[in-house]
Amino acid sequence: MTRWGTSQAAAEARLRAALEEQAAFPAGQWATGARVCEVVPLWRSDLATSSLAPSTRQLYTAAARLYVQPAVGDLRLGELTPALLDRALAQVRLHHGPQPARAVRRALSSLCADAVRHGALRHNPVRDTRPIPCPHHQVRALTTAEARDLQNRLRGDPTACRLDLPDLVQFMLGTGVRIGEADAVRHAVLDLDAGTVLINATVVRIPGSGLQIQPRTKTPASHRLLTLPRPVVTTIRARRADRARTGPAGVVFPSPAGQLRDPSHTQGDLRAALDRAGYPWVTSHTFRKTVASWLDDTGFSVRHTADQLGHARPSTTLDHYLGRRAITTSNVADALTELTVAE
C-alpha cells in the first residue's frame, strides 16, 4: 500500500490511517484490501434487497459469475483502476461481444458503488472507464400487408393455434408491448368498454421460485395506459367468454397448460412458428418496431410513439425503432387497427 503527502510525516500519517482503515474490517468483509471474489457474495446480498427489478438482479449476478470473477476476482478492491477495468472490459467485448461487455460494466459499477457505500473505496472507478457502444442495426419492420399476412398464416397453423400464438401476436401488433408485458396482462387491468389496457406488470422467472408476475414494468415509463384497436377488443371479449382460456391470476394469455406463460419458452415457440410462416427475419421485437414505424408513417409524434412503447426518452425510439420524422396527429388505436385482423 502506498500513500503520498507533502512531507514524509504527512505521507506516513496517511499511510498509517489507510492501514488502520483496512485493518478495521475482518477478512472477507468490505475493505480496500479485500479481494473481489470475497466481496461478490456481500454485494449479492445487498443486491437481493435492492429496488432493482428481479431480471436486472439476475443479469448482474450472471455477469459477475461468468465474467467479473474470472477476469478480476483475484484482485483487491484497491487495485481496481479505470485503466485495468478498461482492459478487462475490452477483453470481454473482444471474446463475447458488446452486449455481455455492457452487462459486465453495469455489474462492476454496481459492485464498486456498493464498495463506496461501505467505505472500502473512495470513488467508483468504473465511472471513468470508456462507454461500450453497441452497433445499431437497420430497423426492419413489417409492412401492413406483411403484418396481416403473418397473422392469417399463424391462424392457419395448427401448431401455432395449439400454442395459442395468433391472439398473442395480434395483441402485440395492436399495442407494441414487450412479450413479458403481454404475458402479464390480466382481465383486471382491461376495460373493454373503454377499450383500454393498463400495462403495469411483466412475467419474470425467479431462480428457485419459478415464473412470477412482477408487479411493475421494466422501467417507470413502461407503466402506461393504452387504447386497444377494435379487433383486439373483439378477440379479448371472445377469450373472456371462454373461461378455459383464462390462466392463473386471471391472465389473458396463459400457457397451453393453463399456467403463466414463460416469455423465453414463448420466444422459442414463436421462432418456430414464424419460420413455418415464411418470416425467418421476424422476432417478437419486430412487432414493437412495426408499431413504432407504423405510428411514425401515420404521422404521430415521436413523444407519442415513445409513450406507446414505454420509452422514457424519445431518443431511444428514434435511434432504435424508427426514422427521423415527427408529425403530431391523434388516435393511436385507429392507426393500429390496420395492423390487426379480426379472427
For 116-138, what is each residue's pLDDT tens digit?
A: 998 888 899 999 999 988 776 66
CA distance 1 to 57: 33
What angle (nearest 5°) sits at the alpha carbon of residue 163, between those of residues 161 and 169? 70
The sign of the torsion formed by the CA atoms of 31, 37, 41, 43 equals positive
Tell me, what DSSP letter sits at residue 330? Answer: -
Question: How far are the Cα atoms of 125, 157, 265 from residue 83, in angstroms, in the given order?
Answer: 9, 55, 40
CA distance 109 to 160: 43
Cell 422514457 appears where? 312
CB contact at 8 A, 112 and 106? no
Q: How far apart are the two ends of the chain, measured CA to CA in Å?
A: 72
CA distance 334 to 343: 18
Closest by CA position to 108, among listed 89, 133, 91: 89
Residues of the chain with CATH 1.10.443.10: 144-337
CA distance 324 to 318: 6
**Is the pTM above the cut of 0.85?**
no
191: phi then psi, degrees, rounded to nearest 5: -125, 90
Q: Which CATH superfamily is domain 8-128 in?
A: Tyrosine recombinase, N-terminal domain (1.10.150.130)
Question: What are the per-10-residue average pLDDT scores of the chain (343 residues)?
Answer: 89 86 62 90 90 83 93 92 94 92 94 91 92 75 93 96 96 94 94 94 84 84 91 94 82 92 93 96 91 86 87 73 47 75 72
Distance of CA 51 to the CA centre of its chain: 15
CB contact at 8 A, 232 and 174? yes
Q: What is the pLDDT of residue 279?
A: 95
Q: Which three cell numbers stand for residue 211?
A: 415464473
Tell me, what DSSP letter sits at residue 35? Answer: B
Cell 456481500 appears where? 42
- Mapped onto helix, strand or coil, the DSSP state of residue 301 is coil
Class of domain 144-337: mainly alpha
